[in-house]
Amino acid sequence: MSQINETDCRCNVAEIRKQMPRDSEMQRLADFFTVMGDSTRVQIIAALRISELCVSDLAGLLSLSDSAISHQLRILRQSNLVKSRRDGKFIYYSLADDHVVEIYDVGKDHINE
């Protein structure tokens, strides 16, 4: 059995390799999809897609503890998917930007095709 090398294919593998993202960018993208791969975090994103909410509102909505919601929000904040603002003693969370809305919407559209 012979090996196939870059010159055996019709496409130019070397040119495609040049256009591929760097390893560090690929790792960040994989980390992003890992964060998005948790159903609780996706539920939080779905809720924040509708309205800004505080931890206790999210906990009640998703039937989870404040602690569990706070843990997931911390991960989402570290990944720049949600942002927060303080209003008195409450911290309200919302989606970080329109990209998060678009990613959620495209993913939802894709699974419902």
pTM of the full structure: 0.84
Q: How confident is residue 1, by pLDDT bands cut at 50, 70 and 90?
A: very low
User: Which pLDDT tens digit goes with each residue over 61-72?
Assistant: 999 999 999 999
The pLDDT mean for the chain works out to 92
pLDDT-derived band at 14 (thresholds 50, 70, 90) equals confident
CATH topology for 22-111 is: Arc Repressor Mutant, subunit A (1.10.10)
Sign for the CA dihedral angle at 78, 84, 94, 46 comes to positive
32/106 Cα distance (integer angstroms): 15
By three-state DSSP, how is residue 83 classified?
strand
